[in-house]
Amino acid sequence: MREKIQSVDLAKCYLLLNHGPVTLVTTAFRGRRNVMAASWVMPLDFDPPKVAAVISGDSYTRELIEASGEFALNVPFRRIADKVFAAGNASGRDGDKFVPAGLTTFPAERIGAPLVYDCAAWLECKVIPEAHNQQRYDLFIAEVAAAWADPAVFSQGRWHFPDGARRTFHYQAGGVFFQTGRMLEPFHRAHMNPPEKD
C-alpha cells in the first residue's frame, strides 16, 4: 500500500483536514487495536503541525490513546460510510470492530496504530499530554508525525475528487452524512466551475 500513496509535506498536512470530514481514529497498544468514528477533529497549528480531537472519556479508543500516546486519523471515502457508521456505534471493548465492519489495515510509519484502507488521507499523530484539557474537555492535542494521501484525490496541496465514491464526507447527527461537494473556482477568478458529475 505504501508505494501507492504519497507523502504529504507536514507543513501542508493541515489541508488534509481543512474541509472537516468525518474520520476514523485508529489506536493500538500491546497487541490490542481499535477503530472509532470521530467528526470532532480539526487542524490546530502549522509548524510543527498539530491537530485537536475530542475523544469521549468512556470510549475504548480513549483508553488506548492514553496508554500508547498515539493515534491515527484516517479520512475515509464515502464508499465506506456504512463501515464508518458501524465503527461509531459499537465499542471495541465488546470485540474487534475491524473484521465485522470489513475494515482492512496496513502499518503506519511512525506510530503503532494501523491505517485503514479505502481512505483518502491519513495523519499519524503523537499526543502532546495536556491533562487538564483531556480530563475536563475530552480534548486531545497531538503533533502530526507523518501524513499521507491518495494522489488520486489530493496532490500539490489540493483536493480534486475524481468521482462520487472517492469523496470524503461529513457527519451531521442521527446517521446523516453529507459528501464533500464540488470545488468552487478560487474567488479571484471571474467564473465558476461547470457542474461536476456526482
Three-class SS of residue 128? coil
Instruction: Tell me the residue number closest to ligand FMN, measured at CB.
Output: 88
Cα torsion 53, 58, 59, 62 to 10°: value is 50
Among residues 172 and 193, whose Cβ is nearest to ligand FMN? 172
Specify which residues 144 forms β-bridges with: 125
Residues 85, 36: Cα–Cα separation, whole Å: 9
Among residues 82 and 109, whose Cβ is nearest to ligand FMN? 82
Between 119 and 148, how does the x/- string for binding to ligand FMN read (CB under 6 A)?
------------------------------
The residue ranges of DSSP E strands in the chain, in sequence order, are 6-7, 23-29, 32-38, 41-45, 50-54, 70-76, 105-107, 114-116, 119-127, 139-149, 154-155, 158-159, 169-171, 177-179
Among residues 5 and 169, whose Cβ is nearest to ligand FMN? 169
- In terms of DSSP bridges, do strands 105-107 and 23-29 run parallel, antiparallel, or are they unpaired? unpaired
Count residues contacting ligand FMN (CB under 6 A)?
A: 21
Among residues 55 and 116, whose Cβ is nearest to ligand FMN? 55
Q: Which of residues 29-88 bind ligand FMN (CB under 6 A)?
A: 34, 36-40, 54-56, 59-61, 85, 88
Q: Which of residues 89-108 bind ligand FMN (CB under 6 A)?
A: 89-93
Among residues 89 and 193, whose Cβ is nearest to ligand FMN? 89
Smallest gap, in angstroms, from Cβ of residue 47 to ligand FMN?
25
Smallest gap, in angstroms, from Cβ of residue 176 to ligand FMN?
9
Residues 37, 26: Cα–Cα separation, whole Å: 9
Residues 68, 62: Cα–Cα separation, whole Å: 10
Residues of this chain that interact with ligand FMN (CB under 6 A) are 22, 34, 36-40, 54-56, 59-61, 85, 88-93, 171
